[in-house]
Structures are given as structure tokens and as C-alpha cells.
Amino acid sequence: MKLSKLFIGLSLAVGLVATAAAQTNMKINISVAKDSHQGVGIDVFAQEVEKRTSGRYKVQTFYSGSLGGERESVEAVQLGTQELTFTSTGPVPNFVPDAKILDIPFLFRDKAHARAVLDGPIGQDLLTKFESKGFKALGWGENGVRHMTNSKRAVNTPDDLKGLKMRTMENPVHVAAYKGLGIVTTPMAFPEVFTALQQGTVDGQENPLSVIMAAKFEQVQKHLSLTGHVYSPAIFLMNNAAFDKLSAADKAAFLEAAKVAIKANRERVDADDARGVKELSSKGMSVVENVDKAKFVEQLKPVYAEFDKQFGKANLDKIRNYK
């Protein structure tokens, strides 16, 4: 009797050890706050992975740049020191140059157009370009439509931007375009931006309403202009070797989890866009809602000529005309 009890006890202990060993922990991070469109994205992703793999994979979530800025995080995933990240495309062209094309100002008509391009053949083909660089791109999420803020003056036309020192993403397309608008560009990792604005190291920055609210930029910026100058995608990236190790069923589970997370992420962007102006105005920001975008496009003509050469006008028109 004692022996059988001992045997049962040992079996249970071995079973528990095996279960514990079978759970694989992975990390995913964002550079903005938990209560944000990106926070919703990684929270839903983590829940879905755990559910779809019956708890064999647990994704730990990190927020507010606690594991580093976006560029550092993309680098960590490429090197395999971190399994996953959810990032805007800001630093991505430094790793996957093909992604640069998405960051061209006024390329997309609106969010619906951008989402259709990313979810369609153009966007899906772009995802395949990541694999040779050490990534598995799980899907295109959303950072949102970018607008400009600053502490100096209201921005109605490109002339109002001349001489403003603006933080930009570490992104060559953004830097080239903003220089074309007369901005003094200062590329900087996102976790440093609030302090730089607070201390006056830079006058302004540009980001979607979701990011402006999550980062509490209204505390250090007086003026907001709804320039809508760039649609900013986001992307779920996984280390390619880590993805390859998964079984076929688990690969499908991670891809499905990303789909569900992207839907939640985009819904939060829509909600933030719907309430953003009212909320930021109520917190003291002065908002220019009707910006003459045609003047910005006109000012960027010399830069567009360079982009036509760099990317091929046919490729840009294919995106612009996609229905």
C-alpha cells in the first residue's frame, strides 16, 4: 500500500515537473504605455497565444520602453536575445529597407486605404521581406495617422514649421520629408522624447493621437495641428529561429493570435481618434483641425521626385491607387 502511494506521489511529481518544463516563456514589449493602442495589441496577443497553445507558451508583456526603445527592441529580436516585439515602422527600414516605402507622407488616402493595402497582396508581400533579415513578421498592426505638436506656435501651413526643432523617428524617409518642410530634424528614440520636450531640447514632435494621449504630451506641448501627414503602421515581429522551432499547429496559433490582436489594436486607434481632439483640448492644448494639406503636398514636391527615383513611381502609384 505504501509503495503504491509512493509510486502515485512520484508520478504526480514527475507530471508536475514535466508540465512546468513544457511551458515556454517569451517576452514582447512596446515603447509606449500599457493603456494605449499598442498596449491593447500586446495584451490581446499574449492572451490569445496562451489560449491557443493550451498554456504551453506564455508571453510576458513589457511597456513604456522598459526593455529599451523601438530600435533596440527590433535589434534584440533580430539577434534572438528577445523573442517578440510590437513596434511602429519608425526604426524598421534600418533593418528591412523594403519597408521604407510605407513611411512616405500623404501616401495613403486614409486609414481604411492603408489597412486595405497592408492586408492585401502589397502588404503581405512586404511581410515576406523580413525573413532574410532574421524576423518572422506576424502581421501589420497600426500606430495611427501622425499629427504635429509643438510648444511655440500654431501650425496652419508649411511656413509655420520653418525652423522648428522637431523630434523625428529614427527613420530616413521621415527625416528627408521633414527637412523638405523646413523642420530642423532631431532623430530620437521614443523613451527620451517627453524629457526632451520638457527641457526644450526640441520644440515639438509628431505622432498619432493615440500616442500623444498615452504619452501625456499635452503636459509639455501647447499646440496640436491635425496635419495627418503620415500613416504609421505597426508590426508584430518574432525572431525567425524562434518561430521556426514551433510546430505547424503552434505557428498557426501565433499567426492567429496576431490577427486577433491587430483587430483590437486598430479598434483602439479608431476610438482614440474619435475622442482625441476633445480630450486634448480639454487638457489645455490648442488644436488646429483644418490644415491645408494641399500646401504640404506642394511643398514636398522636390522630395517626392527623389522618392519616385528611390522607390519607382510605378510602385508608389500602385499603393496610391489601390482599391
Question: What's the CA gap between 167 and 205, in Å, rounded?
Answer: 5
For each of the domains in the chain, give its residue range(s) and CATH number, in order of start: 2-320 (3.40.190.170)
Q: What's the mean pLDDT in 92-114?
A: 96
Is the pLDDT at 94 greater than 60? The verdict is yes
Quick one: what percent of the chain has pLDDT higher than 70? Answer: 93
What CA–CA distances, in Å, run from 9 to 1, 13, 22?
12, 6, 20
Question: What's the CA gap between 128 and 138, in Å, rounded?
Answer: 10
Question: What's the CA gap between 233 and 88, in Å, rounded?
Answer: 6
Q: Could you give the 3-state DSSP secondary structure of residue 200? A: coil
Q: What's the mean pLDDT in 74-96?
A: 97
Is the pLDDT at 212 greater than 60? The verdict is yes
Model pTM? Answer: 0.91
Confidence category of residue 13, pLDDT binned at 50, 70, 90: low
Q: What's the mean pLDDT in 89-98?
A: 95
Is the pLDDT at 20 greater than 70? The verdict is no
Q: What is the pLDDT of residues 217-267, one digit of tens each?
A: 999 999 999 999 999 999 999 999 999 999 999 999 999 999 999 999 999
Question: What's the CA gap between 123 and 125, in Å, rounded?
Answer: 5
Question: What's the CA gap between 87 and 171, in Å, rounded?
Answer: 13
Q: Residue 183: what pLDDT?
A: 98
Is the pLDDT at 2 greater than 70? The verdict is no
Confidence category of residue 3, pLDDT binned at 50, 70, 90: low
Quick one: what percent of the chain has pLDDT higher than 90? Answer: 93
Q: What is the pLDDT of residues 290-311, one digit of tens each?
A: 999 999 999 999 999 999 999 9
Cell triple for residue 298?
506642394
Is the pLDDT at 7 greater than 80? The verdict is no
Q: Residue 251: what pLDDT?
A: 98
Question: What's the CA gap between 226 and 208, in Å, rounded?
Answer: 9
204 φ, ψ (degrees, to nearest 5): -160, -175
Q: How many Cα atoms occupy the beta-carbon half-sphere of 301 within 13 Å?
A: 4
Region for residue 321 given its phi and psi (left: phi exceeds 0; alpha: psi -120 to 50; beta: otherwise): alpha
Which of 6-15, 19-28, 59-68 is the most confident on average?
A: 59-68
Q: Residue 22: what pLDDT?
A: 79
Q: Residue 4: what pLDDT?
A: 57
Is the pLDDT at 277 greater than 70? The verdict is yes
Cell triple for residue 39?
498596449
Question: What's the CA gap between 265 and 43, in Å, rounded?
Answer: 10
Say which range, 120-124, 133-137, 167-171, 277-281, has the weakest mean pLDDT. 167-171
Q: Residue 177: what pLDDT?
A: 96
Q: Residue 21: what pLDDT?
A: 47
Evaluate whether 57 touches 26 at the Cβ level (below 8 Å).
Answer: yes
**Mean pLDDT across the chain:** 94
Q: What's the mean pLDDT in 198-202?
A: 98
